Amino acid sequence: MVEIIKVKTGSQGLYEFTAQLQAMVRRSGLREGLCSLLIQHTSASLTIQENADPSARIDLENWLSRLVPENDPLYTHVFEGEDDMPAHIKAALTSTTLSIPVIQGELALGTWQGVYCWEHRHQADYRKIAVHLGG
């Protein structure tokens, strides 16, 4: 089964879509297998991260923004705005694909793990994520 999930993002940050993904797994009837994800963008990424304490996500965003600042004079790709090239770098440093085992019809995530779209641009957008379920 292959499906495209759309995740609405706001500004930069992590947007959880674990429930949407788990609902897709349940609808598929897959009991044992693999859930593979690909974000179809070059300025956002995917991650599995803590979903209990929001300060962990804020700290991740702040750390990555410090590591890859906007307005760096080295950037030549600036046509789409000051956040565009940093967004591409952030996506290259993080993950654009994920694989999660499916066990007994559920994503095999740990207790405090959630699946996130990591938006690296300032403006709101809908991000498309291709999901393949196979077993």
Query: Closest by alpha carbon to 121, among 56, 49, 54, 39?
Result: 39
Question: What pLDDT score does 44 carry?
Answer: 98
Reported as a single tens digit per residue, the pLDDT across 35-67 is: 999 999 999 999 999 999 999 999 999 999 999
- DSSP string covering 54-85, please? HHHHHHHHHHHHHHS-TT-TT----TT-TTHH
Question: What pLDDT score does 25 carry?
Answer: 97
Domains in the chain: ranges and CATH: 2-134 (2.60.120.460)
